[in-house]
Every structure is written in C-alpha cells, then in structure tokens.
Structure 1
Amino acid sequence: MNYSSPEIRTVDVIRYLTPLREGGSLPAIVEADDQFLYVLKFRGAGQGIKVLIAELIVGEIARVIGFKIPEIVFATLDEAFGRTEPDEEIQDLLRASEGLNLALHYLSGAITFDPVVNTPSARLASQIVWLDSLVMNVDRTARNTNMLMWKKELWLIDHGAALYFHHSWSNWQEQAKRPFPQIKDHVLLPLATDLESIDQEMKAILSPQVLQAILAAIPDAWLTGVESPFETAEEHRQAYASFLETRLSHSEIFVKGAQDARKTLI
C-alpha cells in the first residue's frame, strides 16, 4: 500500500494544568499554543525517551491498521516551566524534560473502557490482541485497559510500555521470534477468536515500506546519545525496522501463543 511518513505536528506547551498520577511517569494535561489540550508524556520521566519512541511507533502502527488513536504531536517544553511549579517532584520532571516531548490529543469526556459494560466484536478484539502481541504491549490488562470509549467508539491509548526489548537491546534478534507470554493477561483475549484471519490482513497492511515510513518520523535526536547502543540514528532506526519485519515474518509464533493462552481461559 502507498503510505507516506506521518505528518506529526509540533506544538509549544503554554500551560501546565494537572498531573495524571499514573505509575511513575507522571503524564500531565497541558494546553498548547494551538489552544488544544493534550496528555503530555515527558522525556525526563521514568524510562525516558524510549517510552516516547514506543508511543510514537506503536501509535502510528495502530493508526495505519485502522484503530482510533488520539492525534500524536511533538510538544516543546520551555525551560521556564520548572521555575514556578510548587511541587518539587513535578518541578524536577519539568526541568528534566525541556525540549521536545510527545503528547496525545486529550479526549475530553472520554470514559475508561469497561469490559463488563463494553463488548467489542470478535474481529476488533482479535485485531487489538494481534497488535499487542506484535509489539509486546504488556499494558492492556483488566487492571489497566488503556482503552477509552469516546463518542461511542473505542480508542487505544498509552503504548509506552510496548517494545520493552529496546530498554536493553539484549538478544533483540531472538526476541523478535519469540511468543508473547504476557498476552495471557490481555483483557480482550477471551473474545479474540479470529486471530488467524486477522494475522493475514494485518501483515498485508504492514509492509516494510509502511514500517520505514513510520520509523522515519522518530526525531534523530531521540535515537542518538547516551541511551543509544547504536552509532547513528539511522542504524538505530533500522534496528527497529529489522525487529518489526522479523516479528511479522514469524507472526505464526505469537499468534499460536495467543491462541494457546486463550484456550486456558475458556
């Protein structure tokens, strides 16, 4: 399919509104210079820029597949933000996050997905389980679904915990060919009855050209520096491409893993 690199807008954060105290990352609702509200993910939080990279890669993969994803933008944080914040923990976070961060459009009025109230189709459940198996997303459980209902549609959010192999890049070539055992905890796994047919459809969409276009959107500055085990941004980018392409070419492994995990639930 023809697909160009996603056009990620850049906004300037003009007002810090409120922290969202979830886990250790302390995302926050902020206002930007385009007058929209965003959920800001900080480069200075927890596991740093790699969380932003995972959010960008997986969010745009999900979007090209056809899921509802809040708009992803680059968000610039000025050094002045850390001066007036009274909370010392937040002040430190703001100062550590000066420069380019990542943010998602705030879906005002959205409610958390409740598997008891909301029952997606087997097809949609299978698509989400397949995606999360592909990108090794550990964070779509009943405790924390990372899905929202907005305007009667299901939206996927928060993919920073995916692609966890990149925190060390240890044996990543081998990890690309492994099943994803944490899928057993996926909130939608009991409904995912169409994994084999979905597998073929998704692989037809996610061509190497599509993946390369998505990866091209990662800022070079996020792919270099002390956190990177690679000499250049392009080498780093191509490692992500190799991981994803290998995982797709061996998708029967993680599909079978999800099917086997589902059998233990029903």
Structure 2
Amino acid sequence: METIPPEIRTVDVTRYVTPLREGGSLPAIVEADDDFLYVIKFRGAGQGVKALIAELVAGELARALGFRVPEIVFANLDEAFGRTEPDEEIQDLLRFSEGLNLGLHYLSGAITFDALVNSVDAALASKIVWLDCLITNVDRTPRNTNMLMWHKELWLIDHGAAFYFHHSWNNIEEQGKKPFPQVKDHVLLPKASELEAADAEAKKILTPERVEAIVSLIPDDWLLKDAPFETFQEHRQAYLNFLLTRLAHSETFVKEAQHARKALI
C-alpha cells in the first residue's frame, strides 16, 4: 500500500515578535500570514539547515509514532523582512535566513516538563527513550528536557540536536549500527522499563515506506550544504539509509539503554 507523505504547510512570516535566547540557534516567536504564532528555527543560525533537517525529520518520525508534537511548517522569510529590525544581531540573522525556514506551532502557556513534578508511565518513557536512541538525540536531559506540558499532556519539542552524524558524514553505515551511549543522560531513562515492547511496536509503525515518505519532505534547498554528495537525491538517500540501518539494528541501542538503566537503579 502506498504511503502518503505527511503534509507540511508553508506560511509567510509577517511579524517578528520576540527572540527566544536559548542555546546557540536563536529561535524566535513570529507571526505568520495565517495569524498563528510559531517558534521559528532560522537557517542562518549557528548549525544552519542541518538543525532544520533534524527538526523536521525527527519531529515527523515522533508524530508518526503517536507522540504529541507541535505542527511543523515551512516558514518563508522575505528578503525585506529584517530591514526594519533595530537589533543588529537579529537583523543579521534574518538577512542570512531569507527563504525557507522551519516553524513549530507556538504552544501558548505551556510549561517545561519537570521529572520531579510531572509523572510519565513506563510505556511512554520507554517509547520516548527508544525514539531518541533511533535519532541519536543528545538533548533530552534533566538539564534540558525539551518536553512541555500543555493542557496536562506531554509534548515533544526541539530535535535540532538529533542526527549528529550529519555534521561530519563519516562512516554513515557504521554510524547507523552503533549504540547510543549518551542515553545514560536521558531524563526518562530511569522509568524506561519497557524498551523491548517499545522497540517491537515502533518498528511495526516505521515501515521503510513511511520513513521514506518522511525523509522525502526535506526541501532540496536544505540539502548539499557541506555534504559529500553530488545530487539532492544522494543526500536525501543518505538520511534514509541511516534510519533504515538504525531500525534494522535497533537491538544494539536497546541493549545499550537497558544496560545504562541498570547502572542507574
């Protein structure tokens, strides 16, 4: 059966509302032509389009697995947009980000997940840990959980640090087969006692066709930036190959997570 790619809307940014000075990516809250607010990740920020690719692919994989993830949109920034911005740093960021950026629907009133206050059951914790092992997401720690509570429900955000292999592109196939030692720092690892069940369930959902449909969402304009490929197709295929290899060898990162968890409890 043919898998239809998830639909990603494109909006035009109309107003820069406020910066979110967290980390090195300098995201911001903006308003778009559909009158909604978005947290926008700029292509002109530190890690450039690679962070946007990670955010897009990881976020849609999470959504496919049933997690709550803010709607992801492509956010177009007109070349004239930043000319009236008085802050020179922000003006430079906007100028270098002309074209297609990435936005996430702003969850007004959401609060940061706190493992000491908010409870997560073993099944959900295991699924989130499994996802982060799949996408090699190093940024779900007690210090920075990148999860929000909104209307008493858990939402996953900010996956720009995932797929760290694409910052060097060394030994892609071997990278896909490796465990994920950074899982020892995962905020939900102590509660992730059902990793094997999470593995079995997720692999039924993330078929090759579904993963390919998600990877196909990456705009050509975001590819071939500091990457050793001759065509957009080869570059996009490298992401797909990494994910399919990782899924085929998921027992490696599941065992690593189980061992890390035993060391904690």
Q: What TM-score bracket applies, with the shorter chain setting the length?
A: over 0.9
* Amino acid corresponding to residue 260 of structure 1 in structure 2: H
Deviation per CA, 1:133-192, whole angstroms, max 9, x where unpaired? 010000000000000001110000000000000111111211111110110000000000
Deviation per CA, 1:193-249, whole angstroms, max 9, x where unpaired? 00011101111111110011001111111113x423211111111111111001111
Q: Who is 1:203 aligned against?
A: 203
TM (norm. structure 2) is 0.98
**Counterpart Cα distance in 2 of 1:229 and 1:69:** 31
Deviation per CA, 1:25-72, whole angstroms, max 9, x where unpaired? 100000000000000000000110000000000000000000000000
Q: Who is 2:221 aligned against?
A: 221
Q: Who is 1:247 aligned against?
A: 246
**Counterpart Cα distance in 2 of 1:236 and 1:37:** 32
TM (norm. structure 1) is 0.98
Structure 1, gaps ≥5 residues long: none
Moved more, 12-21 or 86-95: 86-95
Matched residue SS, 1:29:
strand
**Counterpart Cα distance in 2 of 1:17 and 1:129:** 34
Contact 2:169/2:227, CA 8 A, preserved across alignment = no
* Amino acid corresponding to residue 98 of structure 1 in structure 2: E
Matched residue SS, 1:120:
coil
Post-superposition offset of 1:6: 1.1
Aligned-residue RMSD, C-alpha: 0.9
**Counterpart Cα distance in 2 of 1:88 and 1:41:** 18
Deviation per CA, 1:89-120, whole angstroms, max 9, x where unpaired? 11110000000000000001111001111111
Q: Who is 1:132 aligned against?
A: 132
Post-superposition offset of 1:131: 0.2
Contact 2:17/2:29, CA 8 A, preserved across alignment = yes
**Counterpart Cα distance in 1 of 2:22 and 2:170:** 28
**Counterpart Cα distance in 2 of 1:229 and 1:75:** 27
Q: Structure 1 stretches (4+) deviating beyond 2 angstroms? A: none
Size of the alignment, in residue pairs?
265
**Counterpart Cα distance in 1 of 2:184 and 2:56:** 25
